[in-house]
Amino acid sequence: MTATAPQAKRNRATGESFLSRIIRVLLILFFDAGSIWFITQALQKGYSQIAIVIGIITVMLNVIFLLPKAYPFRWIALGLSFMLMFTIYPIVFTFYVAFTNYGDGHLLTKEQALPLIEKITYLPTDAPSYLWTAYKSSDGNYALWLVDPQGNTFLGKPGITIVPSKPGDPGIGEADSKGIPASITGYDRINALLAVTDKNLPNIIFGAEGEKAVQITSPNTAAALEQRFIYDPKTDSFTDQSNGDIYNNVVGTFMTKDGKTIKPGFRELVGWKNFSTFVNSPAMSGPLVTILIWNFIFPFVSVVSTFALGLAIAIMFNEKNFPLKKLIRTLLLIPYTIPSVITILMWRGMFNSEFGVINRMLEAWFSWAPHWTTEAFWARTAILIVNLWLGFPYMMLITSGALQSIPGDLYEAATVDGANGWQRFAKITLPLLFVAVGPLLIASFVFNFNNFGLIYLFIGGGPSIAGASTQAGYTDILISYVYNLAFASGGRGLQYGLASAISLILFILVGSITLLQYRFTNMWEEVSENV
Amino acid sequence: MSNLTQTYNRLRGSQKFQKKFSVAIRLIVAVLLIAFAVFPVIWLISASFDNSNSLATQNLIPVQAGIKNYQRLFNQDPQFRFGDLSYWTWLWNSVKVSTITTFLSISLTTLAAYAFSRLRFKGRVTILKTILLVQVFPNLLAMVAIYVIIFQFGEIIPMLGLNTHAGLIMVYLGGSMGMNIWLMKGFLDTIPRAIDESGMMDGASNFQIFWTLLLPLLRPILVVIAILSFIGTYGEFMLARILLTDVSKYTLMVGLQIFTSGMFDQKWGVFAAGALIGALPIMIIYLSLQDQIAGGLTLGAVKE
């Protein structure tokens, strides 16, 4: 802290050239203009959270880059902005979504849903009617010539604003004896009989979306569509203009007392409902418990098995001049060097129950082979085998590094005291090893705790748990279950609220495990001393 | 058998024999372990050269040996075309995304690490601790939120939305800051301050000190971190799977997963060819730099 003052003075002393100052201010102005535009757009769409975050980042960057006192922060500002936007904000947003009904049927914000509902129209029975004449283009588009009761004339096309027009206007032909244009550029007039029998015409809405629109109601007349639902911000309700029904806002859906609803619904806070769904519904809580238990077994067994094998290898080939040591190490490292997505897919092929090499070998040798993909126990076993293969080289690397740092004279002293091999291992090697690699083991546990890639790529979490109301399998862990809830195909995904509720539980679990790690290793204190 | 036991008992006393025996046993174990580690890879190589392209009929020595699978991978075999296979595009996408992500994240983290290591300012310790705390949570835990955020970005700026590489890179950048800043700061701390001070004497600004004096010293470690970051991004699957939706935008990992998701047993050989081409560069980098990388792995946790 004491260095702050001379620091600032030196910056002023060494100074920044006039040109670079101008460039800096211009860049900031440019950035501000962009983010103000972004924030306006975001607010219009109802994305108020993202608008707030961008606002905070913008203010932060302005202060940092304009105030000379904030000079040191210029070095970290960009990195921090990305972290704020894509690591910290997603965590906060997850907490928010966990308490909303965000998901299928409630994907929009209220700001987006209201205009959509207001665009819904109906044909009032008493609507002012127009006389119409139809025109058709060679590629099948229609146009409509409309005459209202006062004799005003209009030209209507689907999706385009209805405009007052007169025969003889540009693009419109001269009037016939009845005052109707004989032709419209690009379109041919359809004779009355064909027009009346045309199957398409009655379904076409003429006019731009959200503006005055006209639909044909009888062989002679067309009528203007009217907005069906009128919103009342005071009561937060819609009134159906066709029959007077009142639709009240019931947590994100406009609904009448007898249960009629308007689509789309929108996102709204629902309190603890997402969490209680998991507790109250047996079709949800059953699978969740299965998944939760496996979520602890899987990383635990993985860490223990990979550590045991890695350590065994490290001890076996620890001697300095063991023959071919370098070659053995390099070959054993191979599983670690291939991108894991590729090796997991490869194992998926090898574990194929029908055609895979593993089952073909087992069949040939024992005339027996397990169903790796359809039986829960064997699927889990297969995943643990794959993870052992994937993970032991890493453990080999870190334990052999740590073994070399254990002083040799400790073993000599122990041997002199009469300790046998096992005692030396249990009393010297293991405890010292745990001090060195303990944090890495916990980190490895946390990594496997969230090892989405392995679970998803191997057999997509399967085999399925019977009776589950959402997609859930016996090898699913929480993170892959979150994926299923949010992104599963075939109409079983899109449950963002539920998925975020599980994510929230994951955050708490991962946080607690890491807290344990810091406790266990005093890492926090060490780190605090070192900064 | 008893003969062997006798010989063994006779020789057991001899230290030299004991040593040799133990080495022999360990070599046998090594062969078994190597078989376990390497067999799947050899099996994959063999599959890639088996023209039958079938999981069911593959042998260790391919019956119909040939390079047909490599031709099929690039849709050069007229009898065997896959509609959703555009391998070069995926590989190019992966290299592009990983390179840009690595370059940007290293730049941003090195700058930040310089400030944390060399400048003293209010809030320095708090921010460092916050970073350490935040990086506890990998950003894939918040995948739903990230998906929604990128979706909203895209509604406002389509270039940064879902199914764009820019959006994916932004998310990668956000996630890569935490640990790398700490790593870099650790290295910078080991560089003596006398070097900075000599620069200050000559009237160099902070940036000049950073750029001309410190950066050259950091180069070796920058290379290791860059390689690790490149490999990490290249192999990342989940975020790319969620955020990219078009075959033409997939990274290699997503492309391979989608390609193998149906009728895998009839695409096995082609997959093997694609997997090997995709994995080979990474394997070579890893094995040739294994000592540096092994060093980098333990840096985060083991104190000097």
Tens of pLDDT along A128-174?
778 888 888 888 888 888 888 888 888 888 888 888 888 878 778 77
Q: What is the pLDDT of residues A459-492, one digit of tens each?
A: 888 788 888 888 889 999 999 999 999 988 766 7
Check: CB of residue A184 under 8 Å from CB of residue A138.
no
Q: Are residues B182 and B272 in the same domain?
A: yes
Nearest to A386 by CA among A443, A342, A449: A342
Contacts of A72 in chain B (CB under 8 A): 115, 119-121, 124
Q: Is A147 helix (H, G, I), strand (E, B) or coil?
A: strand
Res A530: pLDDT = 59
- Contacts of A189-195 with C-beta under 8 Å, sequence gap 24+, read A189/A133, A189/A134, A189/A135, A190/A134, A190/A135, A190/A136, A192/A133, A195/A133, A195/A134
Q: Å from B228 to nearest chain A CA?
A: 11
Check: CB of residue B213 under 8 Å from CB of residue B195.
yes
B207, two tokens: 């940036």
Q: Nearest by CB to A339, which of B26, B124, B278?
A: B278
- Lowest-pLDDT range of A14-18, A337-341, A380-384, B294-298: B294-298
A508, two tokens: 């708490």
Q: Are residues B180 and B41 in the same domain?
A: no
A527–B120 CB contact, under 8 Å: no
B115–A76 CB contact, under 8 Å: yes
Q: Where is A215: in which H helix or E strand?
A: strand A213-216
Nearest to A300 by CA among A160, A441, A184, A94: A441
Q: Is residue B100 part of a domain?
A: yes
Those residues whose C-beta lies under 8 Å from the C-beta of residue B238, and which sit 6 or more positions away, are A452, A453, A456, A483, B140, B143
Phi, then psi, of A161 in degrees rounded to 5: -55, 135
Q: Are residues B35 and B180 in the same domain?
A: no
Q: Is residue B138 part of a domain?
A: yes
Those residues whose C-beta lies under 8 Å from the C-beta of residue B165, and which sit 6 or more positions away, are B93, B96, B97, B100, B244, B249
Q: Is residue B81 part of a domain?
A: no
B279–A342 CB contact, under 8 Å: yes
What does the alpha-carbon distance between residue A489 and residue B258 come to, in Å, rounded to a whole number? Answer: 13
Q: Nearest by CB to A332, which of B33, B205, B278?
A: B33
Nearest to B175 by CA among B108, B127, B254, B125: B108
A281, two tokens: 């519904």
To test the contact with chain A by mutation, choose from B137, B162, B287 the residue with the greatest count of A C-beta atoms within 10 A, namely B137
Q: What is the pLDDT of residues A64-75, one digit of tens each?
A: 999 988 899 999
Full residue range of the structural domain in which residue B205 is found: 87-298
Check: CB of residue A475 under 8 Å from CB of residue A380.
yes
Those residues whose C-beta lies under 8 Å from the C-beta of residue A177, and which sit 6 or more positions away, are none
A38–B157 CB contact, under 8 Å: yes
**Using 50, 70 and 90 to split pLDDT, how confident is the model at A302?**
very high
B223, two tokens: 């290379």
What does the alpha-carbon distance between residue B59 and residue A293 come to, in Å, rounded to a whole number? Answer: 39
Res A10: pLDDT = 44
Those residues whose C-beta lies under 8 Å from the C-beta of residue A501, and which sit 6 or more positions away, are A98, A274, A275, A278
Q: Is residue B125 part of a domain?
A: yes
To test the contact with chain B by mutation, choose from A87, A111, A403 the residue with the greatest count of B C-beta atoms within 10 A, namely A87
Distance set, CA A349 to CA A346, B54, B265, B272 (Å): 5, 10, 7, 10
Which DSSP string corresponds to A25-56? Answer: HHHHHHHHHHHHHHHHHHHHTT-HHHHHHHHH
Q: Is residue B77 part of a domain?
A: no
Burial A388-425 (b: 16+ CB within 10 A, else e): bbbbbbbbbbbbbbbbeebeeeebeeeeeeebeeeebe
To test the contact with chain B by mutation, choose from A11, A86, A478 the residue with the greatest count of B C-beta atoms within 10 A, namely A86
Number of structural domains chain B divides into: 2
Q: What is the pLDDT of residues B92-101, one digit of tens each?
A: 999 999 999 9
Q: Nearest by CB to B38, which of A10, A334, A345?
A: A334
Res B295: pLDDT = 63
Residue type, A235: T
Q: Are residues B143 and B246 in the same domain?
A: yes
Res A183: pLDDT = 79
Res B2: pLDDT = 60
Q: Is residue B53 part of a domain?
A: no
Phi, then psi, of B105 in degrees rounded to 5: -70, -35
Q: Is residue B21 part of a domain?
A: yes
Q: What is the pLDDT of residues B221-233, one digit of tens each?
A: 888 888 888 999 9
Residue A4 has pLDDT above 50, yes or no: no
- Lowest-pLDDT range of B68-82, B138-152, B266-280: B68-82
Q: Are residues B26 and B132 in the same domain?
A: no
Residue A9 has pLDDT above 70, yes or no: no
User: 3-state SS of B169-234?
Assistant: HHHHHHHHHHHHHHHHHHHHHHCCHHHHHHHHHCCCCHHHHHHHHHHHHHHHHHHHHHHHHHHHHH
- Computed on alpha carbons and rounded to an integer, the radius of gyration of chain A in Å comes to 35
This prediction has a pTM of: 0.84
Phi, then psi, of A130 in degrees rounded to 5: -115, 155
Q: Are residues B142 and B207 in the same domain?
A: yes
Res A11: pLDDT = 46
- Which ranges in A450-493 belong to alpha helices (H)? 452-459, 478-487
To test the contact with chain A by mutation, choose from B94, B106, B116, B141 the residue with the greatest count of A C-beta atoms within 10 A, namely B141
Q: Are residues B227 and B126 in the same domain?
A: yes
Count Cβ atoms below 10 Å from residue A337 Cβ, excluding itself: 21
**Using 50, 70 and 90 to split pLDDT, how confident is the model at A268?**
confident
What does the alpha-carbon distance between residue A138 and residue A192 come to, in Å, rounded to a whole number? Answer: 18
Q: Cα A163 to chain center, whole Å?
A: 44
Q: Are residues B231 and B163 in the same domain?
A: yes
Res B154: pLDDT = 94
Q: Are residues B232 and B114 in the same domain?
A: yes
Residue type, A400: S
Q: Are residues B44 and B103 in the same domain?
A: no
Average pLDDT (B12-33) is 82
What does the alpha-carbon distance between residue A400 and residue A40 come to, in Å, rounded to a whole number? Answer: 57
Q: Is A246 helix (H, G, I), strand (E, B) or coil?
A: strand
What does the alpha-carbon distance between residue A427 and residue A419 come to, in Å, rounded to a whole number? Answer: 9
**Using 50, 70 and 90 to split pLDDT, how confident is the model at A8?**
very low
Q: Is residue B303 part of a domain?
A: no
Res A2: pLDDT = 40
Those residues whose C-beta lies under 8 Å from the C-beta of residue A79, and which sit 6 or more positions away, are B108, B109, B111, B112, B177, B181
Check: CB of residue A109 under 8 Å from CB of residue A47.
yes
What does the alpha-carbon distance between residue B275 and residue B235 come to, in Å, rounded to a whole number? Answer: 12
Q: What is the CATH number of the domain that holds B156?
A: 1.10.3720.10
Q: Where is A363: in which H helix or E strand?
A: helix A357-366
B131–A83 CB contact, under 8 Å: yes
Q: Where is A507: in which H helix or E strand?
A: helix A496-521
Those residues whose C-beta lies under 8 Å from the C-beta of residue B167, and which sit 6 or more positions away, are B150, B153, B154, B160, B161, B243
**Using 50, 70 and 90 to split pLDDT, how confident is the model at A40?**
very high
Average pLDDT (A371-386) is 94
CB contacts < 8 A, A to B, total 284
Q: Which of A77-86, A232-241, A256-265 has the highest mean pLDDT?
A: A77-86
What does the alpha-carbon distance between residue A385 and residue A475 come to, in Å, rounded to a whole number? Answer: 13
Residue A431 has pLDDT above 70, yes or no: yes
Contacts of A439 in chain B (CB under 8 A): 301
Those residues whose C-beta lies under 8 Å from the C-beta of residue A443, and which sit 6 or more positions away, are A517, B301
A87–B279 CB contact, under 8 Å: no
Check: CB of residue B127 under 8 Å from CB of residue B135.
no
Q: Are residues B43 and B178 in the same domain?
A: no
- Find residue A249's DSSP bridge partners: A254
Check: CB of residue A135 under 8 Å from CB of residue A142.
yes
Q: What is the pLDDT of residues A448-462, one digit of tens each?
A: 999 999 999 998 887
Q: How many helices (H) and strands (E) does chain B have?
A: 14, 0
B145–A94 CB contact, under 8 Å: yes
With tokens 């290791």, the residue in question is: B224
Average pLDDT (A339-361) is 92
Torsion of CA A493, A496, A498, A504, to 10 degrees: 130
Q: Are residues B29 and B99 in the same domain?
A: no
Q: Where is A115: in which H helix or E strand?
A: helix A110-119
**Using 50, 70 and 90 to split pLDDT, how confident is the model at A7?**
very low
Say what percent of chain A tops pLDDT 70.
94
Q: How many helices (H) and strands (E) does chain A have?
A: 20, 13
- Lowest-pLDDT range of A235-249, A338-352, B246-260: A235-249
Sheet strands (E) in A75-128 = 121-122
**Using 50, 70 and 90 to split pLDDT, how confident is the model at A210?**
low
Q: Where is A155: in which H helix or E strand?
A: strand A153-157
A440–B235 CB contact, under 8 Å: no
Q: Cα B52 to chain center, whole Å?
A: 32
Pairing of strands A221-227, A213-216: antiparallel
Average pLDDT (A245-272) is 86
Residue B41 has pLDDT above 70, yes or no: yes
Q: Where is A130: in which H helix or E strand?
A: strand A129-137
